[in-house]
Amino acid sequence: MSEIIQDLSLEDVIGDRFGRYSKYIIQERALPDVRDGLKPVQRRILYAMYSSGNTYDKGFRKSAKSVGDVIGQYHPHGDTSVYDAMVRLSQDWKLRHVLIEMQGNNGSIDNDPAAAMRYTEAKLSKISAELLRDINKDTVPFMPNYDDTTTEPMVLPARLPQLLINGSTGISSGYATDIPPHNLAEVIQATLKYIDNPDITVNQLMKYVKGPDFPTGGIIQGVNGIKKAYETGKGKIIVRSKVDVETLRNGRKELVVTEVPYEVNKSSLVKKIDELRADKKVDGIVEVRDETDRTGLRIAIELKKDVNSESVANYLYKNTDLQVAYNFNMVAISDGRPKLMGIREIIDSYLNHQIDVVTRRTRHELDQAESRMHIVEGLMKALSVLDEVIHIIRNSKNKQDAKVNLVDEFDLTDAQAEAIVTLQLYRLTNTDIVQLREEHDELKALIDKLRNILDNHDALLNVIKEELSDIRKRFKQDRLSTIEAEIEEIKIDKEVMVPSENVIVSMTNHGYIKRTSLRSYNASGVEEVGVKSGDALFRHAEVNTLDTVLIFTNKGRYLFIPVHKLAEVKWKELGQHVSQIVSIDEDEYVIDMQFERQFETDAYYILATRNGMIKKSNVSMFKTSRFNKPLIAMKLKQGDELLNVMRIDSSQLITVLTNKGMSLTYMSDELSDTGLRAAGVKSINLKDGDHVVMTQLVEEGQTILMATQRGALKRISFKVLQVAKRAQRGITLLKELKKAPHRIVAAEVVTPEHTQYTLYSKDQQETGEINSIHLSEQYTNGSFVVDINEFGEVEQLTVK
C-alpha cells in the first residue's frame, strides 16, 4: 500500500472531526424528530419489533432477541444502550403512554436497574401500532441500513402526535431538549382545532392543552410559564408533590405523599427527608417511611404532636425534591436541523407530516385499486367470451403463447392476460361474474373516493381529523397532573427548622456572648460565669432558641442574631465576641441586648443618646433577613453615641439624668413613631458642657441610684421626680460646689428586686447593699462610699 501522509494543523483536524461528530449526535442520536417524536434508536427498536411480528396482538418475546435484531440490522451500537432505550419505552413513570409492554423487572421509580435482557420479555404496545400503521403503504421514505442489506424508515407514519404526548429529553453537542409529556386527548383536540383554524393563537390552544400531564401526576404551578413555553419553546414551571395530611390513632399527624414530581428518584427523596430529620435541620419529624406497594406510591412522614404540618411541608418543598422546577426546552429535529419550537410549530410540523403520510398512502391505495380494477375488467371481458378464451388457451403451445394469443384476439393488456391464464378452473362459474361486478363497483367507488382525497385538500384534512378522533376515542385517559395558575410562595416557619428549647443567653460588658443550656447554667450557678479578668456579666436571660437577639452598639447600630445561630457553650466558658459573629468597628462596643420572638407591631424601642437625642421606632422595623453585618438603628450626629435602649408596649415614664445633675421626666407618648434611619428629637435641653448619663424607664415604687466621680452615691425616690414636657432643662438634683464639684458618671433605676450595687474605677470595684444608701429628697450630693485616693475615680455603676 502506498503511504499517504497529510500535513494538517491540529486545530483544523479537531475542528473538522468534532463538527462531524456534533452533527451526527444532533441529527442521529440525542434529539427527537418533530414528526414522530422519536430518536433514531427508539424508531429502530419499534420498527425492528414490528418487522419481526412482535406486536401487541401476539405473545411476548425475549428482549434479548429484539435487541439483537436492532443491533444486527439497524443500530450497530452497544447492546446496553439499545436495551436501556427499550426499557425506558416500557416505563409508565417515564412515558405517559408506554410504547413497549414488558414482562419482568423493568426498573422502578427508585431508579433500580431493569433485569438483564435475557430475563425480560417484551412486545409492542397497542398504541405503538398507531405509530407504525400504514408503514407498508409507502407512507414514509426508507433509506438503506448501515450495511446496505435492508432498508429502514427515516421517520414513522406516527398517526398520533407522539412528541407532545410522551415528551422527550436528551443532551447532544450544543443542544439539549426537555419536552414534557401531555394528555393525549388534549393534544389531539388541540390538533383538530389547529386543522380547523391554522391561525389559532397559543391562548386559544391552551383552552384545550391545559399544560403538561406527567405520568407521575403532581401539581403544576405557573400558567404564565406554560404559556411562555408554548409561545417560545422555553419556560419554567414548578412541579409539586401531592401531599395530604392524615391523623393517626395516637393523635399525631402525618404527611402522606402520593404523587412526586416527574423524574424524581423516590428513594433518594425519602433518604433526603430522613437525613434532614436525623441532622435536626427540620424539627417535628418523628419518622419517614416508604410505604409504596402494588396499590401505588406512598411516602409517610410522621410528625410530632402539635407540630404545624403545613410549615413542615413548606420546608420540605423548599429543601427537597418534593417540589422541583421544570424548565421547558422544546428542541426537536425539523427539516434535518435542531430547532426550538413552540406548540403551534410542533403541531404544524406534525400536521404537515400527516398530510404527507395520508397523501402517499392514498396514492399507494389508488395505484393498487386501479391495478386491481384493470385486472377485474380483463376477467369480466374474458368471462363474457369464455368458450373462445378456453379454445385459444387449449390450442396454444405454452403459457407465453396463450398470453400472446389472448392479447391479439381480445385486445387485452399483458397484465390482464396473465390474470386470465393463471385463473383457477373452479372460478369459471356463473356466479363469479356477479362477484366481479360487485368488486368492480366497489373499486370504482374507492377510486373515486381516493381521487377526491388527492384532489380536494379539505377532504384529505377530514381523513386526518377522523383518524385522530378515532385514536382519541380509543386511547384517551383522564388527566393525572393538576394545574394551578400561580406559583405559591413558600413561607418557612422558623419553628420548623429549629428545635424549640429554652436556653440562657448572656452578654458581658466587653461584648462576649454565649448560649448555654439550662442544665449547664443550673449546675454552675450564676456566680460561676466564665468571664475574662476585668470583665463582668452585663446581662443574662432565659430565652428560646426560636427567639432573636438584638445587640445594640454605641454607634447607633444593631446586630440581628437568631438565638439558634449562637454556638452552645458551657456556662463556665467564655463564649465568643460579637465581632466574631458580625463584624463591627474597632471603637464600637455593645451597650444593650434585647430579645424578640414575633417582632410585634404594637411594641416600640426607645433609643437615647449621650448628646440628648431620643427616638421611638416600632419593633417590627427591626426584623430583617440579613445577619452578616450591622444595621442602622438610629442616625447619630458627629461626636454623639447611643447610651440606652428601652422596650415599651404601652405609655410609660422616661427619666433622663445628666452629668451635671439635671433631671427631666416625661411620658413616652411625647415621642412620635419614626423610621430606623431617623436622627430623633431633643430629649432634654442640655447646658453647655453637659451630657446625658442615663435615660431609662421609671415607675412608681422604684428609686434612682446615682454615682459621682468622687465616689459618692445618692439615692432618690420616685416622688422626687417631676413629670414635665420633653426638651426642657429639668430640675437640679446635685448641689453645685465651686471647688471639686460632683458630677454624675453613672446612674441606674433600682427595682425592689435589686439588692446590691457595684462601683467600678479603672482598676478596682466595690460592692455594697443598696438599702444601706438612704433615700434622699434633699438637694445634696449624697454620701461617700469609697475614697477616690485609694479607689480611683468612679467610672461605672451596676445594680443586681
Element (H, E) at 180: none
Count how many Cα atoms sit within 13 Å of the Cα of residue 349 in the half-sphere of its side chain.
22
Query: How many C-beta neighbours within 10 Å does residue 247 have?
Result: 10
CA of residue 323 relative to chain centroid, distance? 5
Residues 334 and 341: their CA atoms lie apart, in Å, by 9
The DSSP result for 101-158, as a single string, is: EEES----TT-PPPPPTTT-EEEE-TTHHHHHTTTTTT-S-EEE-TTSSSEEESS---
How many Cα atoms within 13 Å fall on the side-chain side of residue 476?
Answer: 12
β-pairing, 482-484 with 219-221?
A: parallel
Q: Is 760 a catalytic residue?
A: no
Q: How far is CA 698 from the centre of its chain?
A: 53
Neighbour order of strands in the sheet with 653-658: 692-698, 653-658, 662-667, 731-732
Residues 6+ apart with CB under 8 A from 790: none
| Alpha-carbon distance values, 312 to 5, 283, 286, 301, 630 (Å) | 69, 8, 12, 10, 31
CA 647, 653, 658: angle at the middle one, nearest 5?
95
Look at residues 383, 363, 534 and name the one whose alpha carbon lies nearest to residue 460: 363
- 733, 785 in Cβ contact below 8 A? no
Contact assessment for residue 122 and residue 101, using Cβ atoms and an 8 Å cutoff: yes
Find the DSSP H helices in 456-561: 457-475, 494-497, 518-524
* Of the candidates 633, 751, 644, 738, the residue with the CA atom closest to the CA atom of residue 691: 644
Nearest-angstrom CA–CA distance, 639 and 83: 79
Identify any residues that bridge with 123 across adjacent strands, giving them in sequence order: 101
The residue from 21, 24, 56, 119 that is catalytic is: 119
Q: How many H helices and E strands in the chain?
A: 21, 41
H/E stretch holding 553 reads strand 548-553
The alpha carbon dihedral of 634, 640, 641, 643 has a sign of negative
Nearest C-alpha neighbor of 673 from the set 574, 609, 601: 601
Q: DSSP string covering 572-619, please? A: TS--EEHHHHS---TT--EEEEEEESS--TT-EEEEEETTSEEEEEEG
Q: How far apart are CA 50 and CA 55, in angstroms?
A: 6
Q: Catalytic residues, which ones?
A: 119
